[in-house]
Amino acid sequence: MTRKQQIDNVTDVLIGLLGYWKRKLKVPDFVIIVTRITGMQSEAFVMKDNRGSITCTIDPAKFVKHKCDKHDFVVAVFHELGHIKTDSYYTDKMTPENAEFNAETQALKWLKKYLPKRYREQVKRIKRVLKNNPWKGKQAYYTKAFKRIKDYND
């Protein structure tokens, strides 16, 4: 299978998961647009809320590059839906750190309720990341945000 086919498959899976969980979790409606964004490895999803504001993006090529499994797909979908549910976007009024904190906290609540095994796997995984290889540079705000989350610091 070519890389393009892998990315297309990941895109289909992610769009299906977004639709299913959007309904189940009662997340406000949004539109998915597939487009190319500067700095992304491939075409990405851009999700826009009812006001037309960009709420979040997902880059399917990252899932292929890092050989992600179903766990990563669901966690990513919950996290991005968390941005929408908590109205937490990178704006002048909200820092990336706070937006990521709110989205991840919401994602963990949903994981704990609907997919407790995946919740436990995610907590273990992020604890390991924070201990051994935290995000640095331009993405250091993830480390700051996730260190504030109680579940990751027990």
58-108 per-position pLDDT tens digit:
777 788 887 877 778 899 999 989 988 998 888 778 899 999 999 999 999
| Cβ–Cβ < 8 Å for 88, 99 | yes
Phi and psi of 23, rounded to 5°?
-70, -50
Strand spans (E) along the chain: 30-36, 43-49, 54-58
Give the predicted TM-score (pTM) of the model.
0.87
- Beta-bridge partner residues of 3: none
Distance CA 144, CA 101 (A): 9
pLDDT at 126: 95
